[in-house]
Amino acid sequence: MKRYLLLFLLFTTLSGYAQNTINNYKYVLVPEQYSFFKDVNQYNLNSLTKIFLEQKGFTVYFDNKDLPVELANNKCKALNADLTAKKGLFTTTLKLLLKDCQGNVIFEGKEGKSREKEFAVSYNEALKNAFVSLNELPYTFAGEAVEVESVKVTAPVVAPANQSVVAVESAEPSGTLYAQTTANGFQLIDTTPKKVFTLFKTSIPDCFIADSGQHKGVVLKKDGKWFFEYYKDEKLISIELLIKF
């Protein structure tokens, strides 16, 4: 009798755990600063985490921003993204964790590693590799978990700008910029000629750490177009660029 009781309890526990998967969540909250760094969004790691999760299909917000009413009223509808880091003598290692609102780990990825010497490149490459196991896991939002109210979802879900302080402000491209190769990436010059941007390579195709002299952010390619994105006064600014490589 005890044997059957133990088997029943084990089956119930495993069934409950299996039901609580990433498919029960459409939202993920990303911190603006990881605990192992001194600066906000250091090496653009937090912004890149947000981008990678959005590419996976989640609707993603930074955790200290104003949120949609649906999520602000119940943060248990969101997973919380976190990274653990190990810095060895020659290796940078990152691991991705997705936790529920009670701190339970819903997903734990495999370690992503990089042996690049430059910290910015190393952390970006390690982050990309840390996302491999998540990207291999099928994800389709299946509706809210049992403990929260059901919400009708239309796909794809994109948060309206007026529901978040992180509104995207766009600007039209002002002129063609020409890419010149440097040791770590490119510099973009205009027809003056004057250097407008410095781009640093990352391990992610068509994504660069960018410095305009006034703002630091990322230059990335979306839908065949190049954009410079950075934060100003808690707003995401997105500027289209015309780049000729």
Residues 149, 155: Cα–Cα separation, whole Å = 18
pLDDT averaged over 10-residue windows placed end to end, the chain, 245 residues? 45 41 93 91 90 92 84 91 89 95 93 90 92 92 52 38 44 75 87 86 89 90 90 86 89
- The sign of the CA dihedral 198, 202, 208, 212 is negative
Looking at residue 166, its pLDDT comes to 43
Looking at residue 213, its pLDDT comes to 87
Looking at residue 169, its pLDDT comes to 53
Looking at residue 117, its pLDDT comes to 86
Backbone angles phi and psi of 119, in degrees to 5: -60, -45
Residues 239, 226: Cα–Cα separation, whole Å = 8
Architecture of domain 21-161: 3-Layer(aba) Sandwich (3.40)
Stated as kind and residue range, the H or E segment containing 229 is: strand 225-232
Q: Which H, E and C letters describe 72-93, residue by residue?
A: HCCHHHEEEEEEEEEECCCCEE
Domain boundaries, the chain: 21-161, 168-244
pTM reported for the whole predicted model: 0.56
Looking at residue 157, its pLDDT comes to 38
